[in-house]
């Protein structure tokens, strides 16, 4: 955490939303001497990231780990003094399972989302037919496309064949993006794979080069899972500690809903007081209904950001409102260890759409990380919904639990009623990076740059993962400071 600047701050910034992107933006602004206020409608930091601790269970409501191959999240954790909390995925769980023709199979070792890292593991896999395997082998000879973008489905079918797409790529990628693969933009969601094809001619050749650069280590089975970490006492330890650190460096935290932002000489941020007490007592009730600021950073989800900014820029609001979102539900189930027949020796299992199940994936939480369940119990998180099954997120709890327990009984041999059953509902929580998303983000960026002192961050733009949203908050702060400064120079 940067110490507060020695000189007294004169310029004021309001950050709307205390999710991870908002906290990152506020930290940057405060570090540069801006008098910073964060306003959050829920009255707590973390946004969708929240941990429930109950009677020996530690349940993540949404995200349960983050990738360390990008530095932003890990650096933040370390800066906040949380090094001792960092837990990698346990070595015994560093593989994934996939359902194929009713049976569970291991995802071939070295297969990274859509990259066939090791042909030997494809050849010996029980998941693909001989024809499907042969088609994957031929990936190397498929010419690279000259198109600037392609849907995930078009790209994966072209490179690996329909069978590998349907049995492997679709379920693995859906687990992350909850998206429709026929609409998901490769350029926006998975640019590294597109670049790999363009640079090396094929995914296989690109992976070879990447592994040589990475020293070969990542080629080993499960090494990718070693790049994911969580925090021992729950992922929301990160925003909780971050909010405390920001408070001690002078960042004000308010509990209110922002309904609009207007602009005359400065920004006016219009607040609606919250009806219920703040979830974090550090978030105070505002003493005024309008805040004045020289910079404003919006980090609320795109439809809400659109409504807030409409009074300043109708075109920006329209672009933001056009970003689609998908919903999902997570059913968290606890069982006595002996009630589940499967050894749960993996990070989880993913389910291809062609298997026609009601659930998308199951994360074996207590296998991935220790102390997620009481002694002799296991914790499973079952995912339902997504872009291709939008109704699931709206079903009542009893129906969702019934769907989850029935598939878990069938696939993992879980017997009897679960000792824990909790439903976490995420309606319209996952932005969808459809084809054309990058062009939209480009237009959004130009429109934001045209509003001096304005910044925009969050999962709707250039990455939904925790490191990416932290990076987006940092970048939004940089832009807001830059355009605010340029504007005051031009007025001087």
Q: What residues line the site for ligand FAD (CB under 6 A)?
A: 16-22, 39-42, 47-49, 62-66, 257-258, 299-301, 304, 328, 330, 426, 429-430, 458-459, 464-466, 469
Report the candidate in 335, 424, 413 with the shortest Cα–Cα distance to residue 374.
335
Query: 37: helix, coil or strand?
Result: strand
Q: For the CB of residue 220, give the shortest distance to ligand FAD in the complex, in Å.
A: 23
Helix then strand count (H, E) for the chain reads 18, 21
Q: For the CB of residue 73, give the shortest distance to ligand FAD in the complex, in Å.
A: 8
Dihedral pair phi/psi, residue 71, rounded to 5°: -85, -20
Cβ nearer to ligand FAD, comparing 453 with 458: 458
For residue 190, give both structure tokens: 């998975």
Cβ nearer to ligand FAD, comparing 22 with 108: 22
- The alpha helices in 48-147, defined as continuous H runs, are 72-79, 119-124, 130-137
Report the candidate in 308, 235, 258 with the shortest Cα–Cα distance to residue 38.
258
For 199, which DSSP code?
A: H
Cβ nearer to ligand FAD, comparing 72 with 150: 72
Report the candidate in 33, 36, 34 with the shortest Cα–Cα distance to residue 14.
36
Q: For the CB of residue 142, give the shortest distance to ligand FAD in the complex, in Å.
A: 31
Q: For the CB of residue 321, give the shortest distance to ligand FAD in the complex, in Å.
A: 14
Cβ nearer to ligand FAD, comparing 18 with 444: 18
Q: For the CB of residue 468, give the shortest distance to ligand FAD in the complex, in Å.
A: 8
* Alpha carbon separation from 6 to 2, 9, 230, 481 (Å, rounded): 11, 9, 35, 19
Bridge partners (DSSP) listed for residue 60: 51
Q: Within its chain, how far is the Cα of 393 from the centroid?
A: 18
Report the candidate in 464, 391, 469, 380 with the shortest Cα–Cα distance to residue 427.
391
Q: For the CB of residue 145, give the shortest distance to ligand FAD in the complex, in Å.
A: 29
Cβ nearer to ligand FAD, comparing 112 with 257: 257
Compute the C-alpha angle 304/442/192, nearest 5°.
Answer: 105
Cβ nearer to ligand FAD, comparing 15 with 127: 15
Cβ nearer to ligand FAD, comparing 136 with 271: 271
Report the candidate in 131, 130, 132, 126 with the shortest Cα–Cα distance to residue 107.
126
Query: 206: helix, coil or strand?
Result: helix
Q: For the CB of residue 123, give the shortest distance to ligand FAD in the complex, in Å.
A: 31
Cβ nearer to ligand FAD, comparing 48 with 205: 48
Q: DSSP letter string over 57-122?
A: EEEESS---EESSSSHHHHHHHHTT-GGGEEEPPGGG--EEEEETTEEEEPPTTEETTEE--HHHH
Cβ nearer to ligand FAD, comparing 222 with 467: 467
Q: For the CB of residue 326, give the shortest distance to ligand FAD in the complex, in Å.
A: 10
Question: Environment class of residue 141 by beta-carbon count within 10 Å: exposed (0-12), middle (13-18) or buried (19+)?
Answer: exposed
Q: For the CB of residue 130, give the shortest distance to ligand FAD in the complex, in Å.
A: 35
Q: For the CB of residue 188, give the shortest distance to ligand FAD in the complex, in Å.
A: 14
Cβ nearer to ligand FAD, comparing 136 with 444: 444
Render the burial of 210-248: b for 16+ CB within 10 Å, e for the rest.
bbeeeeeebbebbbbbbbbbbbeebbbbbbbbbbebbee
Question: By beta-carbon distance, which residue lies closest to ligand FAD?
Answer: 47
């Amino acid at each position: 955490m940067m110490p507060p600047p020695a000189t007294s701050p004169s310029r004021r910034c309001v950050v709307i939303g205390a999710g991870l992107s908002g906290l990152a933006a506020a930290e940057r602004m405060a570090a540069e001497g801006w008098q910073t206020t964060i306003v959050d409608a829920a009255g707590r930091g973390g946004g969708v990231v929240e941990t429930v601790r109950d009677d020996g269970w530690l349940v993540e409501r949404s995200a349960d780990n983050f990738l360390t191959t990008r530095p932003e999240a890990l650096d933040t954790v370390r800066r906040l003094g949380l090094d001792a909390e960092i837990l990698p995925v346990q070595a015994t769980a560093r593989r994934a399972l996939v359902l194929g023709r009713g049976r569970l199979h291991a995802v071939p070792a070295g297969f990274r989302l859509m990259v066939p890292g090791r042909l030997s593991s494809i050849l010996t896999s029980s998941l693909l037919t001989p024809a499907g395997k042969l088609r994957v082998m031929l990936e190397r000879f498929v010419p690279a496309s000259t198109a600037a973008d392609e849907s995930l489905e078009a790209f994966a079918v072209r490179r690996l064949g329909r069978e590998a797409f349907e049995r492997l790529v679709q379920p693995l990628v859906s687990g992350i993006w909850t998206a429709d693969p026929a609409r998901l933009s490769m350029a926006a969601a998975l640019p590294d794979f597109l670049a790999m094809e363009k640079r090396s001619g094929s995914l296989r050749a690109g992976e070879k080069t990447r592994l040589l650069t990475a020293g070969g280590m990542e080629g080993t089975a499960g090494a990718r899972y070693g790049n994911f970490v969580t925090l021992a006492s729950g992922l929301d330890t990160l925003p909780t500690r971050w909010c405390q650190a920001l408070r001690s460096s002078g960042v004000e935290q308010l509990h209110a809903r922002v309904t609009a932002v207007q602009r005359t000489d400065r920004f006016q941020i219009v607040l609606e007081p919250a009806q219920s007490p703040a979830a974090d007592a550090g978030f105070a009730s505002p003493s005024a209904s309008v805040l004045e600021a020289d910079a404003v950073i919006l980090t609320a989800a795109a439809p809400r950001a659109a409504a807030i900014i409409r009074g300043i820029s109708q075109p920006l609001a329209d672009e933001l409102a056009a970003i689609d979102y998908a919903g999902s539900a997570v059913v968290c189930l606890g069982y006595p260890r002996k009630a589940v027949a499967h050894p749960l020796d993996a990070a989880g299992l993913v389910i291809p759409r062609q298997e026609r199940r009601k659930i998308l994936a199951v994360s074996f939480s207590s296998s991935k990380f220790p102390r997620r369940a009481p002694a002799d119990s296991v914790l499973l998180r079952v995912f339902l919904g997504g872009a291709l099954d939008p109704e699931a997120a709206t079903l009542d709890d009893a129906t969702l639990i019934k769907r989850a327990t029935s598939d878990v009984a069938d696939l993992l041999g879980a017997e009897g009623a679960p000792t824990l059953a909790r439903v976490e509902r995420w309606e319209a929580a996952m932005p969808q990076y459809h084809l054309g998303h990058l062009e939209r983000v480009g237009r959004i960026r130009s429109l934001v740059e045209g509003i001096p002192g304005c910044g925009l961050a969050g999962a709707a733009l250039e990455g939904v993962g925790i490191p990416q949203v932290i990076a987006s908050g940092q970048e939004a702060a940089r832009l807001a400071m830059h355009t605010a400064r340029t504007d005051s120079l031009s007025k001087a």
